[in-house]
Every structure is written in structure tokens, then in C-alpha cells.
Chain A
Amino acid sequence: MGMGKSLKLIIEALLFTSDRPLSAREIQACLPDASPPDINETLKALQTEYETLDRSFLLREVAQGFQLRTKPEYAPYVLKMLKTAPTRLSRPALETLAIIAYKQPILRQEIERLRGVDVGGILRTLLEKDLVRIMGRKNLPGRPLIYGTTQRFLSVFDLKDLGSLPKLKEIKEFGGDERETDSISEEDRPTDLTHEENAAAPGNEARDSVFHTTEN
């Protein structure tokens, strides 16, 4: 297969057709002759090109992949066409999600300590929306469940990966309790937990959650 222009257009065709973010690896699987650096370079070139062309959509890097997405100013029209209400999450749900995103792997008990209130109902909603997943169980009495975020979470909130979560503002005023709260990288997974059934797959697909209740 030729390089340059055609590679770019082939990748564009894949992105155009896909209904979820495509990773460079998935793209490479369709283009065995292209080298990973070439693919990455081409993706970046496409990103710049769409920006320059000033179309209604852009190529966004989300959830460790690339996806064509409309620009925000077209949302009202798209919503009208879809005849649907925009995604909404209540404030308590967003707060719970924020805690899980930064503190994962985290136990429900710990989320409740931070929010100061029962989160059972909210956790159920977040699991149903596939924003949160059960990562395993902790080796503690009662073997409590461990929660973390999903690929879908990254996709919905326009995040490339967990490493691109903005840093938490530190609590400065207390000398003793200052803590560096770095966002968690994918490798930073717990070692002291026993995963049930399936341990996180190396590919780390959105659907590796033990309990995925929704289709998407």
C-alpha cells in the first residue's frame, strides 16, 4: 500500500466509520504494513488538518483512542435531530465520580467517608451508566468491592487517559496534612487485591468490567 496520502485517507475512513474511539493499535491491525510511528504521525496530521479546515467536527484523542466529534456549538442542532435530552449527571453523582476517579482503587466505605453520606444509590447509577466499574475485591473481612472508573468515563469526559486528569488542588493551610495527590496512571493498579474472575486485561477494554450492565 502506498504511503502518505493514501494512508491518511484509509485511516480517515476507519475513523469516519467507527462508533467508538479507535486506538492506534486497532488501526494498525487493519494496516499491517504501516509502522506505528507512521500511524501516530498520520493521526496527528489529520487532527491538525481538521482544525485548519474549520469543519463542524474535530479529531479528538479520548480514552486512549481517536474519535471524530462535533464541536460544541453544533450541540443544539444535533440534539434536536436525535430528539433526546443531553447527558446529565446530578451534582452528587459527579462528586462521587470525582472521588472515584482520583482515589481509585477505592472502597465504597472510603467514598462514603469522603462524602459523609451513603452512596449506594449513586454507585448503582454510575455502574449502570458504565462510568464506574468493579475492579475486584479487597482482601479484608467481608471482601469489600473495589471501585474504579471505566474507559467510557474517559470517553464521556473527554479525557485521553487517567494521567490527564487535572491535578487536585492541594490542601495548603494544614502543615501536617498536605498531600501530593497525583492522578493515577494505568499501571498504578493495586497489587494487594484479588481480582475476581477476570483480572484487568492488558488491552484494558472498556468492557473488562466484571459487571457491565449497559451495552454502551
Chain B
Amino acid sequence: MNTKPDNWFDEVLAPTRASAPPGLAAQTMRRLQTQSVRRWLPAPRQWWIPAMAGATAALLVVFGWLHWHRTDTLVNVHFELHAPGAHQVELVGNFNQWQPGTIRLTGPDASGHWTATIALPEGRYEYLFLVDGRQWVTDPAAMVVRPDGFGHVNAIREVTREGTML
């Protein structure tokens, strides 16, 4: 049984505090800048890689354009959350670059449900509800979820032309 007061631990641990090495911030910024540049600049003698990528992208754009004009691939996807006490519910996910303030759910209805229907291309989407601008809520109806590594659990939804799969 420990009988030490709380501040005893503060005092004992304080001298072991390690400080970041000098120059760490500057090094990190250099790495960030290098990686940002590297993302766009190929290594010497590897210019064929972006050339091929460019050609492939051009082909994809052409095929995509043709496909787009043949069929409408947008699918209406319905989102719903039961939050009777909430004042505002937003939908935040990789379809809106995790940017709050872009998709607001309508509600609450008489039963306390908030809803939104948005048109999305086929794909796999991760999302969360943001209640009253501060509380992140995983969709309780989601069958597939994934921890995002930052304390939240993202809901995952597959959108296909046949409909959506929770």
C-alpha cells in the first residue's frame, strides 16, 4: 500500500525530466519541408515515373469523363443519429476532408433523430458525427468501425451503385 502524498511523486520525478535535443524543432521543420518537396520531385534519372504517372492519369481522366457521361455514379447516402438533447449535429468524414461546418444534419424530429442525405461517389468512407461542435460520436448503426489512433473510433461505410453498406 502506497502512503506517499501526491506531490512526493511530482518532486521525485521532476529531476528525471528530459529536454528535447537542441535543434529538434528546426530539424523537424526541415524534414517536413523535404518530405513536402519530395512528394513532388522525383529522384534524378527517375523522370519516367512521373511521365508514366501523368500518362496514366490522363488516360484515367479520359475514361472517367466517358464513364461519367454514360452513367451517374453518385449515390444518395442517408445518415442518421438519435440525439434528442443535441442542438447541432454535423457529419465529418473523409468525404469533406474532416472539415466540420460543411454538412449539418437536420433535426431533431419528434423522436429525437437527426438526418442528412448526401450524394457520394462509390467508395469507402470513414466518418464521425460531431455533436454540438465538441463531442465526437461514432455512428451506432455502423457495422464496421476503425480506431483512428487518436482516441476516436471512425465508422466506415461502403458506397456502391447498388446502395450503401453500413
A joins B in a complex: no
**B residues adjacent to A (C-beta < 8 A):** none
Residues of A within 8 A of B (CB): none
